[in-house]
Amino acid sequence: MAIDISEHTSSNSSLDALLLSGTAADGTIARPVSFDGLAGIFHPARQDLRQEHAVLFVSPWGMEELCSRKFQRVLAERLAACGVASLRFDYLGTGDALDPEDASRVADWLSDTRAALNYLRRLSGCSGVVVIAQGLGCPIAAEALAGAASSMAFLAPVVSGRAYLRELAMWSSMIDDGLGLRASQRMPQAGAIAGMAMPAGVADTVKKINLSNLDAAPARRILVLSRPGRVTDGDFATHLTAIGGEVEEAEFSGYDDLVSSPTLSKISENVVSRLVGWVSSQTQASGSAACPADFVINAAQRGQGFFEQPVQFGEGGRLFGVSCTPDDRRAVSSVLLLGAAYDRHAGWGRLSVQIARALAREGVASLRFDAANIADSPPVKGVPDQVLYDAAQNDDVSAALDFLERGSNGPFIAAGRCSGAYLAFNGALVDDRIEAVVAVNPVVFHWRKGRSVDEALHKRPRSFGEYSQRFRQGATFKRLISGDVDVVSAGLNIVKATMKKLSTKTARLFRRGSEEGRAVYRAFDLLKAKGTAVNLLYSDNDDGLEHFRYYFDADGQGLSAYRNVSLTIIPDADHNLSTPEAKRTYMETVKSVALKGKLSSGPQ
């Protein structure tokens, strides 16, 4: 069923307003929503199987949330097919929600959760609600919604807030180690992880959490999915039984694989099926329900200098994103912010959110979105599950440009990091509407035919420069001495990186003759002919630099033939641009390009 989309008629008229009445009756299409400064995804139920209860997802925090985004979407789709509507949402200061200063209120995730419950009832028409909470969402749900839901599922529950913050600090340290960040480059705040910091006051609230002190079960029927080997999870289930809950306990199989990283995350079919079956057992078929009053479910929300509206576009509304526009003027240009790997469109450390809002304050519009089969956007039939570096993603870029074009005459800029940089570069090759590209740390410019994406993601080597930099760090010596580093594996990797560097120098003699070489130079020649401005940014020791230097020399001298291409090396930066300085360089480059006016330098 086609989605009913009507034009928003407020001051930000280029954005699309979605009406509740336009919801598909077959439960196949989710809808982006906004309320109380928050943003979320509502998945309506299949109406011919409509159940009396709807499901509210109460999310984990940080890296766990980033890795679980697709898991929640898949679970919501399965529930909708069984007649159960659901809502998942971002707390204030997280994901696509406004920041506290934009919403003019302090962050209170308990209040956010209660607001989400009320909004779900309004959207679904269901009076009964089943809660599915995960990680930090478990104590939030237990406190905020005690007695408000008949049934609750606690997945990998946080029981002690203090213990959780200590564990989070260890997890954050492991991530920072993997990125090669020095101590001075890391976020010291309690609760910070993966470039994200909890809003002021939230960590203090988390410290006070202890679900072992509950004196009454927050719901009558409870399911606890315990992490393998976590005694506290099982003890929590036992405690819930002791205080009057009807408790089922099962293992959260595959939990570690789920939260390993957004790129490598694996979803356990057993867990999804278990949750769908359990939710179905907590509800029953509903009789005819009164239709809720119609209203705009994704109204634009105003922050300091910007309007933001969650949107969907593409055939059948298959792609989900957020449009961000200036609040006081017509945009001078529009930027397409493309995600990296399987990160949700808010970006690693919410970088895409920060860039979008900063651009809007300067008069530049933007669209950030999830490509097909990433985070909130469902897959496309006939397209491989592994969508990264697949030509089908160019269709998603084209659909996003179609959306931007409905509200703007351009110019249009494509910007992205890592695989998003690759997509921005290749999107400009196939779509002439892209007048400029900002590509940060692209690993390659052309994906070689037959090369396995999965293997490349699992075995991405560090560059020789990165190994050299890490070897000079005092912390590396300490880890070597303490035995924290696998010396044999590290040695082999260094040898491989050295050999790769040497073989690269030799292979340059033949670079124009290879299939990849011909494709790379053909791409740069085409963008030169079209006059597309290409801005390349690399962290100083990024692995992608070796690919660049292979084709354009160590000093970038090979770019002299391409006056439309610029090169910036970001000093002391990691692949994800974790430091404020690296983020600022990226933001300022995008802003500078977007404010140039006519971006294309014309054919050369």
pLDDT(290) > 80: no
- Say what the pTM is: 0.90
Secondary structure class of 399 (helix, strand, coil)? helix
Residue 2 is predicted with a pLDDT of: 32
* Same domain membership, residue 200 and residue 128: yes
| Cβ contact 593:599 at 8 Å | yes
User: What does the pLDDT read at residue 408?
Assistant: 87
Q: Are 404 and 319 in contact (CB under 8 A)?
A: no
Q: Are 430 and 422 in contact (CB under 8 A)?
A: no
Those residues with Cβ within 8 angstroms of residue 520's Cβ, 6 or more apart along the chain or in another chain: 445, 446, 551
315 belongs to a structural domain: yes
Residue that wins the pLDDT comparison between 27 and 87: 87
> What secondary structure does DSSP assign to 198-242, as a single string?
PPTTHHHHHHT-BGGG-SS-SSSEEEEEEPTT-HHHHHHHHHHHH
Name every residue whose Cβ is closer than 8 Å to that of residue 432 and which is 6 or more positions away in sequence.
530
Quickly state the pLDDT bin for 478 (edges 50, 70, 90).
low
* pLDDT band at residue 504 using 50, 70 and 90 as cut-offs: low
DSSP for 472-528, written as a single string: TSHHHHHHHHHT-S-HHHHHHHHHHHHHHHHHHHHHGGGGGGSHHHHHHHHHHHHHH
Does residue 107 share a domain with residue 236? yes
| CA–CA gap between residue 429 and residue 532 (Å, rounded) | 9
Report the pLDDT value the prediction gives residue 28, as an integer from 0 to 100: 82
For residue 44, what are the domain limits? 15-281
Are residue 308 and residue 228 in the same domain, yes or no? no
What number is the average pLDDT over the span 388-404?
A: 98
Q: What's the domain count of the chain?
A: 2
191, 324: one domain: no
**Confidence band, pLDDT 50/70/90 cuts, at residue 564:** very high
| pLDDT band for position 396 (cuts 50, 70, 90) | very high
pLDDT at 500 over 60: no
Does residue 469 lie in a domain region?
no
- Where does a domain end: 281, 314, 331? 281
User: Do 376 and 246 share a structural domain?
Assistant: no
Q: Are strands 221-226 and 246-251 parallel, antiparallel or unpaired?
A: parallel
Look at residue 191 and tell me whether its pLDDT is greater than 70.
yes
pLDDT of 9 higher than 80: no
- pLDDT (average), residues 126-133: 96
One-character DSSP codes across 286-323: ----PPPPP-BSS--EEETTEEEEEEEESGGG-EEEEE
State whether 269 and 314 are in the same domain.
no
Q: Residue 484: what pLDDT? A: 60
Burial class (CB in 10 A: 0-12, 13-18, 19+), 571: exposed
Q: Are residues 323 and 387 in the same domain?
A: yes
The stretch 384-399 carries a mean pLDDT of 97
- Give me the torsion for CA of 396, 398, 400, 406, rounded to 10°: -150
Q: According to the model, what pLDDT value does residue 467 have?
A: 43
- CATH code for position 206: 3.40.50.1820
Strand partners, 434: 412
112 within a domain of the structure (yes/no): yes
Instruction: Say whether both 204 and 100 belong to one domain.
Output: yes
> Do 228 and 312 fall into the same domain?
no
- For the chain, what is the mean pLDDT? 90
pLDDT at 286: 85
What per-residue confidence (pLDDT) applies to 289? 60
Alpha-carbon 246 to chain mean position: 36
pLDDT of residue 456: 92
Q: What number of other Cβ atoms are within 10 A of residue 344's Cβ?
A: 27
In this prediction, residue 421 carries a pLDDT of 99
7 is a domain residue: no
- The answer as to whether 99 is a domain residue is yes
In a domain, 5, yes or no: no
* Mean pLDDT, residues 71-85: 98
Same domain, 401 and 253: no
Give residue 452's pLDDT. 95
pLDDT digits (tens, 9 = 90+) for 566-577: 999 999 999 999
Tell me, yes or no, whether 267 lies in a domain.
yes
Statement: residue 507 has pLDDT above 70: no
Query: Does 604 score more than 80 pLDDT?
Result: no
Choosing from 216, 249, 281, the residue where a domain stops is: 281
Return the higher-pLDDT residue of 513 and 77: 77
Q: Is pLDDT at 479 greater than 80 in this prediction?
A: no
Full 3-state SS string of 5-61: EEECCCCCCCCEEEEHHHCCCCCCCCEEEEECCEEEEEECCCHHHCECEEEEEECCC
Q: Of 299, 320, 297, nearest to 400 (Cα)?
A: 320
My answer on whether 185 and 315 are in the same domain is no
- Are 336 and 277 in the same domain? no
Two tokens at 113?
A: 């959760």
* Average pLDDT value for residue range 108-115: 98
Residues 194-231 have pLDDT tens digits of: 999 999 999 999 999 999 999 999 999 999 999 999 99
Is residue 44 assigned to a domain?
Answer: yes
The yes-or-no verdict on residue 297 having pLDDT over 50 is yes
434-460 tens-digit pLDDT: 999 999 999 999 999 889 999 998 876
Encoded tokens for 86: 């659901």
Indicate the pLDDT class of residue 14, thresholds 50, 70 and 90: very low
